[in-house]
Structure 1
Amino acid sequence: MAERIDAASFEERVLKADKPVLVDFYSDTCIPCKRLNPQLAKLEEARAGELDVVKVNINFDTQAAVDNGVMAAPTLVLFQGGKEAGRTVGFRALKELEEFIDGALA
């Protein structure tokens, strides 16, 4: 399961990471966010060692959401080398997530 991080650890875990990091900006009350969780778990397992997946709860860590221009949940932002490499909003099935990541990192 993806690790939940907060604004204080965002720079270290995401911006300074050695490998790409997919950040799931979510809300506990968001139904599409809940539907996305199993897809992210599968993605995390399939891409173990090459991609980190972390979660930021926008209800508790609003500053991280604001700093990253998050306007809706779920928003998935892919970071590579400390910079945004791609972004998608809403529920995505595993295949769509993989295509998004592959396209953003190409």
Structure 2
Amino acid sequence: MAVRVSTDTFEAEVKNGGKAVIADFYSDSCVPCKRLSPVLAEIEEEQGDRVKLVKININFDGALAEKYGVMSVPTLIFFKDGEEISRLNGAVKKSEIVSEIDKI
């Protein structure tokens, strides 16, 4: 299950454990974000042993969006050991997300 993180909990959640982390920067009013959410849940269910999903609502945690240069939503940022590895912007396909996970 995706973990909703805030500015206060982001560092601990992203650097915790040896798994890769997908940070989903989203907004409740974003239609592409709503369409991407079940795809991410499916990926997390299938690949939960390899990847952890965290969700950041940019309306409440704009400081995190600013820190990571998120200019539009949805934006997926892939982290490994707390460092950004790659990112995807927009309503991307499941295969594109899985491909990024495989690269990590």
TM beyond 0.5 = yes
- Please show how residues 59-74 of structure 1 align to structure 2 within 5 Å: 59-74=59-74
User: Aligned residue pairs: how many?
Assistant: 104
Residue in 2 that maps onto 1:30: 30
Moved more, 35-44 or 1-10: 1-10
RMSD over equivalenced CA pairs, Å: 1.1
The gaps in structure 2 that reach 5 residues or longer are: none
1:8 aligns to what SS in structure 2?
coil
- 1:72-83 equivalences under 5 Å are 72-83=72-83
In structure 2, distance between residues paired with 1:77 and 1:84: 7
Q: After the TM superposition, which parts of structure 1 deviate over 2 Å for at least 4 consecutive aligned residues?
A: 15-18
Indicate yes or no: 2:46 matched with 1:46.
yes
- TM-score (norm. length: structure 1): 0.92
CA distance in 1, matches of 2:75, 2:11: 18
Please state how far the C-alpha of 1:18 moved relative to its aligned partner: 2.3
TM-score normalized by the length of structure 2: 0.94
Question: Taking every aligned residue pair, what percent have the same amino acid on both sides?
Answer: 44
User: What 5-or-longer segments of structure 1 have no aligned partner?
Assistant: none
